[in-house]
Structures are given as C-alpha cells and as structure tokens.
Structure 1
Amino acid sequence: MPQIASFHDLKDASVFITGGGSGIGAALTDGFLGQGARVAFIGRSDASAFVADMQSRHVRAPLFLQGDITDTDRLERALAEAAEKHGPVRVLINNAANDQRHSLKEATPEFWDAMLAVNLKCYFFACRAVAPGMEKAGTGSIVNFSSISYMMGNAGYPAYTAANAGITGLTRSLARELGPHDIRVNAIAPGWVLTQKQMDLWATPEDLAAHLDRQCLKRHLAPADIVGSVLFLASDTSRMMTGQCIVVDGGVVTTG
C-alpha cells in the first residue's frame, strides 16, 4: 500500500492490532509495517498467507497470534506475547468488530452478550492490559474503532450501534483516566468501508447508491482510506489530541 506520509516516531514502535489480518485491520497492519513498526495482531482465522505476503512486501513480518478476542484470557496472553516479542505495546488499535445485521425482535440475551463481547468488552480489557506498560514507559496511544452507524441512527443492528456509542464514551473516560501518564486515547469512526465482507454480505447496488448520495465526496471508502488517520493518531504528531472521535466517512455526518 503506498504511503501518503511518513511518521518517523513509529519506526520500531510496538503496535498491536485486533483483527489485523483482514479487512480494515489488514490495511492497518500493512500501513504500520510500511512505517517500520513492529506489528502484532490477533485474529480467529489462520493468517499465514497474509503474514507471508506482508513479509515479502516489507521484509519484516507481522507477529500473528491466533485467538478469539472475546476470550479475555487469550486476548491478555496475546498482548503479553506481543510485548515479550516486540517490547511493551506502545500503540494499541482496537479494530476488530462484528456488524451482523439483526432486529430488536429477533435478538436474544445470548446474542446481545455476544455482540457486546466482540464490539465493546474486548476493547475495555485490551486497554486495561496495555495500560501498565504504557504507564511505565510514560507514553502510549490507543485508537478505538467506533462507527458513524450510531451517529446516523441506523436501524438493522441495534446491539452494534449501542456498542459503538459505548466505544466513544469509553474512549473519553479512559482519555481522562490515563492522560496523567501521557497515554492518549482516541476513537476513529469510519463510514461505510467496502471490505470484501461488506461486498459479499450487504452491499447491494441500491444501498451503495443511496449511501454515496449522502456522502459529500462521491467515492466509496476502501480500507486504505482509513489508514492515514490511524497512523496520525498513533504518532506523536497528534501528541496533544486525546479523548477525540475522528470521523472518516466521505462527509456523511458532521461533528463540532
């Protein structure tokens, strides 16, 4: 992936990405490797082919740690393994999510718990796991992935939108709690990014046209369009930004 800008302080930085082997996460892994960072990521599915591809592009391979982020013990072990291999995590990217479509009527208590586990709970415990190392180092950057879906008041996945509103709230609270240790916590809220999953499951021609009509910029978002903003938030270039939610959506919602 071509780099738009270089963030020199990310060279050799220990970076951990949840869901870093597919979709937006894969673009993030590629982007951080392109900056010379040491990248580790966790994912459920085997990512050996992706790791090999990244190594061929960047010489340095990412560290793939297979596991389910809703298993808190496994998530914490993976973060510890990454710290042992690359040094204490300096940048945490909570990216993995599940926007499975569902209605109020059909959602069961078990489904609700599962959706909040993958879309919110694991964010909290990943932040908790990296905080001591960042405190000791006296620096750190956490970027939590939210979504414009809750800002738009979208129907069709209420547990998902509730979790994303929660992510923004969590981000603001942790920014206040961790700020005295010079740890920054920000969120990024992408619009409809056309990953392969979105194209396979939900991107009908009619819905694509309707969403594009709502955008100021008349071009669909791709995973690569999210990378630059995340690199900026991870880098000390944004060293006085914390507690913010940055929208990258082509101009669908407005903030401020």
Structure 2
Amino acid sequence: MNKSASYASLRGRRVFVTGGGSGIGESIVTAFAEQGAHVAFVDIQRDASLALCERIAAAGHPAPLFRYCDITDVAGLQATMEELSTRMGDFDVLVNNAANDHRHDLENVSQSEWDRCIAVNQRPMFFTSQAVVPGMKRNGGGSIINLSSVSWRVKGGGYPVYVTTKAAVVGLTRALARDLGQHRIRVNTVTPGWVMTQRQVDLWVSDEDRQEMARVHCLPGDLLPHHIASMVLFLGADDSAMCTGHDFVVDAGWT
C-alpha cells in the first residue's frame, strides 16, 4: 500500500499551474491542495476545471482559483497571472505543465502549425517564468518546475515538432537555473514517461502499446498522473532545497 509524503513547507505556499484542469495537471493541482497549498491554475477546459475546484473544496482542502486562459496569448497569460498574484500574493511555486501532443508528420507541417506547437508547448514556459521571478525575488526564493517528456529521449516518432519543444525544456531549465540561482530560485525539469491519462487512453494507447510498455518498463503497472505529481510536490517543497538545473525522470525505468 502506497503512503504519500506530507510536506510541511507546502502548507500556505502559493502555487501557479498551467493546464491544471485535467490529466497530469489535475493531479498536480489536487496534490498541492491536499498539502494545504493555495493553488491557482489556468486551462481552456472550463467545465472540467470548475468541477475540479468543487471536488477539492468538498474534500475539505483549500479551493483552487481557476481562470480560463489560452496560454498561446502571452499578454493575456501574464495579465491573468498578475491578477491572481495580486489576489493571492506572490507565487512561491510555478508548474509549467500545459502541453498538446497532437500527432503530425514532417511532410505536412506548415509554418503556422509549427508556430502553434511552439506557442503551446514551449513559449509559455519562458513567459510564465518571467512573470513569477520578481515575486519570487521578493519572497527570497522559489521553485520553477517545467514538464518535459521522454519522447525526445526515446526518439519518439510521429510528432517531431512536439518532440523538439520537449527537448528544449531541458535547455530552458538549465539556463534559468544558472541565472536565478543567486536569488534562491530553483528551476528543474520533470520528465514523464507515457502517462496513462484519459486523453492518452482515448486517443493513442493500443493493446500493442501496453504490451510494449510492459516490456520496456523496469517496474510493473501503468504510469499514472499521481506518480508525476509526487515528484512535482518534492521539487516544490523545501526538501529539494539544493536541487536545481536537473531533469527528474519519472518513467518506470523506460529510458
């Protein structure tokens, strides 16, 4: 039986999450709220996000603040973050989770499709970081957590622009870790394997895929959203105080 860790340092912390309404993001929002953190998140799935807030509040945890936001609109995203931080206080933790792994092939990608993939999967991570850094400096430190993917490690095919963006996450993390470390702002990457979210199961996962995962994983069983959330919690908490610039892989031993 699994027993999750409790992080005293997360109680009362202010956390901002992108793409928090479903899948991995839903687990991250829930996990922080269960620790007593004050969570704000953005998503384009309005109904799912509002329902999540209600479930968390009904369970007796601090109700998250949700705002509908298209993260490809940088000005709108930063304005939303400013509004939320004015209401909640400066953010202590930023989790860049939002992504879209739609399939595409090299031959048919247009420049506009390339730009759209970058605008969803890569660009927001820079500008959310830009938005939270002044407040983290005022707080005397903070934690930025960027989600990548093992797709670039395993030479994943069928979505080359997405794979490019997820490889770039590690570069951004390492650069920001160097620039921000003097302010006690830690920047790390969490790299999930193939997480069995409902979206993945509905759109992509076949019986053959499950057989292949069973073959390449060192650990038995599905990789689930809460496994990723557990690593994110650790990196948001003071327990990871001297961890920065690193890539924490959660993939059941695949890579």
Same fold (TM over 0.5): yes
User: 1:197-250, CA deviations, whole angstroms, 9 ceiling, x for partnerless residues?
Assistant: 001100011112112211101211111111111100111100000000000000
Partner of 1:31: 31
Partner of 1:191: 193
Distance in 2 (alpha carbons) for counterparts of 1:132 and 1:59? 28
Partner of 1:70: 72
**Aligned-partner residue type, residue 28 of structure 2:** L
Check whether the contact 1:3–1:31 (CA below 8 A) recurs between aligned residues: no
Where does 1:3-22 land on structure 2 (aligned, <5 Å)?
4-22=4-22
Classify the secondary structure of the residue corresponding to 1:152.
coil
Picking from 150, 154, 178, the partner of 1:148 is 150
Picking from 210, 215, 218, the partner of 2:217 is 215
Check whether the contact 2:34–2:61 (CA below 8 A) recurs between aligned residues: no
Partner of 1:81: 83
Distance in 1 (alpha carbons) for counterparts of 2:60 and 2:92? 20
Gaps of 5+ in 1: none
Classify the secondary structure of the residue corresponding to 1:105.
helix
**Aligned-partner residue type, residue 21 of structure 1:** G
Q: How many residues align?
A: 252
**Aligned-partner residue type, residue 12 of structure 1:** G
Which is worse superposed, 78-87 or 36-45? 78-87
**Aligned-partner residue type, residue 103 of structure 1:** D
Distance in 1 (alpha carbons) for counterparts of 2:184 and 2:158? 39
User: 1:37-62, CA deviations, whole angstroms, 9 ceiling, x for partnerless residues?
Assistant: 00000001212222111110134210
**Aligned-partner residue type, residue 129 of structure 1:** A
- Give the share of equivalent positions with the same residue, in percent: 44
Gaps of 5+ in 2: none
Partner of 2:164: 162
Distance in 1 (alpha carbons) for counterparts of 2:188 and 2:107? 33
Check whether the contact 1:3–1:34 (CA below 8 A) recurs between aligned residues: no
Classify the secondary structure of the residue corresponding to 2:108.
coil
TM-score, normalization by structure 2 = 0.97
Distance in 2 (alpha carbons) for counterparts of 1:232 and 1:59? 19
Partner of 2:247: 245
